[in-house]
Amino acid sequence: MSGILFHNVRLIDPASGLDQNASLLVQGGVIADHGSALGRPDGAEVIDGEGAVLCPGLVDMRVEVGEPGGEYRENIPSAALAAAFGGITTVAALPDSKPAIDDPALVRLLRTRGEETGSLTVHPYGALTRGCRGEELAELGLLREAGAVAFTDGARAIGPAKLMRLALTYARMFSAVIVQHPEEPSLAAGGAATEGELATRLGLPGIPAAAEALMVARDIALARLTGGAVHFAHVSTAAALELIRRAKHEGLRITCDTAPPYFDLNETAIGNWRSYAKLSPPLRADADRQAVAAALADGTIDAVASDHQPRDPDDKRLPFAQAAPGGAGLATLLGITLAQVHNGTIPLPRALAMLTAAPARILGLSCGTLAKGAAADLTLFDPERAWRVTAGALPGRAQNTPFDGRALEGRVLGTWKAGRQVFGANA
Amino acid sequence: MAIHSRHLLAIEGLHPPQIAAMLDLAESYVLLSRTGTTPRDRLRGRTLINLFFEDSTRTRTSFELAGKRLGADVINMPVATSSVNKGETLLDTASTLNAMNCDLLVIRHASSGAPALLARKVDAAVINAGDGTHEHPTQALLDALTIRRRLGGLQGLVVAICGDILHSRVARSNIHLLSAMGSRVRVVGPPTLIPPEAERLGIEVFHDMKAGLAGADVVMALRLQQERMTGGLVPSTREYFRFFGLDAEKLAYAKPQALVMHPGPMNRGVEIASRVADDPDRSVIREQVEMGVAVRMAVLDMLAHAGIPGGPRP
């Protein structure tokens, strides 16, 4: 049987703590072996990594794939292109599509659409409530059986405390995590930017940073009451992170992620009415950005997700308050995260843990590891190689990056899905 | 301490000899009912008033029949459409009934504790025929009699009560009675339908039918009220049936000859499959109805005379 021998690579497997210059052998689509003295089996292709990093294919736990209902902004094949460019081989797809993923048949559809790409595994989230309308629980049990990895209403916060309590109680039966968009809806309604001096100068309706901490505090109390598991998505404020830090210390089932804009950009990015930097939650004051970076380093933040939200130019070429929030993120997830390695905030293995093993663990997935026998989902990247982000020239349909023009160090050289190269020089 | 002997307000607090005495007397009434030889003079001259603040057909009819088989004068007060709707309080109703000198007062009410309140204000013996989500003592007695006749006793049995425990007065009465008589009680249902601190009642809690029914001698399905769905506690009937509906597949987790029970009325295809409900080898649901009349005869008989014997001496 033929195979692929990666040699002269720095193998980093955060799941096992492995970090060494060695070789890795792929056979039959799975990782057959790795070590420093691997021979070349007959017929195996040899890839000389020239010292580049080989790690598990990235696991992105927060992606809007555009299907169903938003295909003109992004669809699963186009998202798969952007993902492969970004070294991502597994995504968790948000359910607040049109229609929402509140029926088992839709869960199966998205999984199949992912399989059809041959390059990207799509794990759908199930809608927590019917139509993601925040009223009554969706059929969590049947959605779970169909393959929903966790439950959320996507970009919509689970508002009523009673509903969140019910969801956490009911989901316990399936050991399922509830993913919250932590923003108190009554404080956030109508807001376009973080409340503060900049929003005041621009005359934009504000969303106080406290809207996030309020929801986080409430849900921590409900997790304590119910014994349920809450995951807070794209956490962006110091106050919320402090609450999460304490809840974890208490031993509650609380996890969280953040997205690259929240440790790389601050609210000044919306200056000059740049609607591509209009996100939800909004970009924050720099003190909050620094707190997010610190939480990457101290482990309060478990995972980094792209929070890929495809938007059409027509969604963005509007007066700022009317423009749709959301940024494209698949292509830049690794590069922006590596900036925190280059500036000394976090070591490289810690960065990769937040992009592989941690999201897989939170969602109960078997991917995100270089263990022998695991599917050969692999990313080869040169952490030093420079490139520039250019809106309009990104892979996939969505071009609404908030990082337009940004120079990055760290570029994916190749991506493999189950042993098949899906991105890179020879793909 | 013999506070329950003059009334039957709850199973909780009754002592095993009291429960056994009611079941023993009921047992004798089963045979007499079947042969049409019940003692019609037993409650002659006694008045039984059925005071049902909640709609009920089976329980009211069962009490009516029980009273008539023992010769009582039975009055059904349609309180749902009477003076209560004109604003009369429960205690005013009690005082009115007291003035009528009735002997036995059977009450069903949507509020937990309403029969206990009434019992403090009337001279009649009060029988709780279901109060809110608190207790339904005669249902538990008839369930126990059904099980005892089929399986020979209650000691050491594993009984799985499945479904909406949170809102079920039947479940609460059964938990108290079966535990007192030495059975091991489990409740099985979605976490949203299990009351907080349920383990404190001395029972085991399961959220999975496979684990909850394993080795059970008796499987009791409870009615899922339609309003639980609109209240959001359960997403849909199809999901409920998938995980908690008692069908042949799930029943197979229990002991091979496990009894199937249901307090009625059944939602077929929601909490129980017709194939199971109608299985003559397993289902004792119709027998439960027959036992209901016998148990109520025994309760009326005792309360109209000396009360329920077997309680602790004061």
β-sheet bridge partners, residue A18: A13
Chain B residues within 8 A of A165 when measuring between CB atoms: none
pLDDT at B165 over 80: yes
Nearest CA in chain A to B231: A136
CB-defined contacts A:B, below 8 A: 40
Interchain contact, B191 vs A163, CB within 8 Å: no
Interchain contact, B207 vs A173, CB within 8 Å: yes
Nearest CA in chain B to A172: B191
Q: What DSSP character marks residue B314?
A: -
Q: Does the complex come out with an ipTM higher than 0.85?
A: yes
Q: Which range has the worst mean pLDDT, A37-41, A202-206, A237-241?
A: A37-41
Share of chain A above pLDDT 70, in %: 99
Number of Cα atoms under 13 Å in the Cβ half of residue B263: 29
Residues 6+ apart with CB under 8 A from A25: A3, A4, A5, A6, A31, A32, A33, A34, A38, A41, A44
Question: What phi and psi values does residue B215 have, to the nearest 5 degrees?
Answer: 75, 15
Chain A residues within 8 A of B198 when measuring between CB atoms: none
Nearest CA in chain B to A173: B207
Please check whether residue B136 is in contact with residue B130, taking contact to mean a CB–CB distance below 8 angstroms: yes
Interchain contact, A141 vs B191, CB within 8 Å: no
pLDDT (tens digit per residue) in A338-354: 999 999 999 999 999 99
The angle, 0 to 180 degrees and rounded to 10, between the axes of the packed helices B169-180 and B16-35 is: 110
pLDDT confidence of residue B80: 67
Chain B residues within 8 A of A142 when measuring between CB atoms: 238-239, 242
Residues 6+ apart with CB under 8 A from A112: none
pLDDT at B2 over 50: no
Please check whether residue B19 is in contact with residue B181, taking contact to mean a CB–CB distance below 8 angstroms: yes
pLDDT confidence of residue A60: 98
The average confidence (pLDDT) of chain A is 97
Q: How confident is the model at residue B89 (pLDDT cuts 50, 70, 90)?
A: confident
Q: What DSSP character marks residue B85?
A: G
- H or E stretch at B67: helix B58-69
pLDDT confidence of residue B313: 63
pLDDT confidence of residue B1: 43
Chain B stretch 245-264, residues whose beta carbon is closer than 8 A to a beta carbon of chain A: none
On whether any CB of chain B is under 8 Å from the CB of A161, the answer is no
B135 — alpha (psi -120 to 50), left (phi > 0) or beta?
beta
Q: What DSSP character marks residue B235?
A: S
Q: How confident is the model at residue B3 (pLDDT cuts 50, 70, 90)?
A: very low
Q: How far apart are CA A422 and CA B36, in angstroms?
A: 84
Q: How confident is the model at residue A427 (pLDDT cuts 50, 70, 90)?
A: low
The average confidence (pLDDT) of chain B is 93
pLDDT confidence of residue B95: 86
Using alpha carbons, list the distances in angstroms from residue B69 to A421, B101, B181: 84, 21, 29
pLDDT confidence of residue B87: 65
Length of chain A, in residues:
427
Q: Which of A148, A139, A160, A47 is nearest to A425 (CA)?
A: A47
Q: Which range has the worst mean pLDDT, A176-185, A227-236, B93-102, B250-259?
A: B93-102
On whether any CB of chain B is under 8 Å from the CB of A297, the answer is no
* Catalytic residue (choose from A60, A153, A264, A307): A307
pLDDT confidence of residue A391: 95
Q: How confident is the model at residue B4 (pLDDT cuts 50, 70, 90)?
A: very low
- Which position has the higher pLDDT, A425 or B237? B237
> Nearest 5°: CA angle at A209, between A206 and A213?
140
On whether any CB of chain A is under 8 Å from the CB of B242, the answer is yes
SS3 per-residue string spanning chain A: CCEEEEEEEEEEECCCCEEEEEEEEEECCEEEEEECCCCCCCCCEEEECCCCEEEECEEEEEECCCCCCCCCCCCHHHHHHHHHHCCEEEEEECCCCCCCCCCHHHHHHHHHHHHHHCCCEEEECEECEHHHCCCCECCHHHHHHHCCCCEECCCCCCCCHHHHHHHHHHHHHHCCEEEECCCCHHHHCCCCEECCHHHHHHCCCEECCHHHHHHHHHHHHHHHHHCCEEEECCCCCHHHHHHHHHHHHHCCCEEEEECCHHHHCCHHHHHHHCHHHCCCCCCCCHHHHHHHHHHHHHCCCCEECCCECCCCHHHHCCCCCCCCCCECCCCCHHHHHHHHHHCCCCCHHHHHHHHCHHHHHHHCCCCCCCCCCCECCEEEEEEEEEEECCCCCCCCCCCCCCCCCCEEEEEEEEEEECCEEEEECCC
Give the mean pLDDT of A12-24. 97
Active site (annotated) includes residue A153:
no
- H or E stretch at B148: helix B137-151
pLDDT confidence of residue B42: 96
pLDDT (tens digit per residue) in B24-54: 999 999 999 999 999 999 999 999 999 999 8
Interchain contact, B190 vs A139, CB within 8 Å: no
Q: How far apart are CA A137 and CA A182, in angstroms?
A: 18
Q: How confident is the model at residue B261 (pLDDT cuts 50, 70, 90)?
A: very high
Q: How confident is the model at residue B79 (pLDDT cuts 50, 70, 90)?
A: confident
Chain B residues within 8 A of A226 when measuring between CB atoms: 191
Mutation target for A interface from B236, B238, B241, B244: give the one with most A CBs within 10 A.
B236
On whether any CB of chain A is under 8 Å from the CB of B236, the answer is yes
Nearest CA in chain A to B208: A173
Share of chain A above pLDDT 90, in %: 97
Please check whether residue A132 is in contact with residue A108, taking contact to mean a CB–CB distance below 8 angstroms: no
pLDDT (tens digit per residue) in A130-154: 999 999 999 999 999 999 999 999 9
Q: What DSSP character marks residue B262?
A: -
Using alpha carbons, list the distances in angstroms from residue A398 to A50, A244, A283, A393, A424: 32, 32, 20, 10, 20
At residue B128, the 3 state secondary structure works out as strand
- Which of A135, A141, A172 is facing B243, going by the closest CB pair? A141
Give the mean pLDDT of B108-121. 93
pLDDT (tens digit per residue) in B137-150: 999 999 999 999 99
On whether any CB of chain A is under 8 Å from the CB of B211, the answer is no
Q: How confident is the model at residue A99 (pLDDT cuts 50, 70, 90)?
A: very high
- Which of A130, A139, A173 is facing B191, going by the closest CB pair? A173
Q: Which range has the worst mean pLDDT, A21-30, B88-97, B188-197?
A: B88-97
Chain A stretch 211-270, residues whose beta carbon is closer than 8 A to a beta carbon of chain B: 226
Q: How confident is the model at residue B81 (pLDDT cuts 50, 70, 90)?
A: low
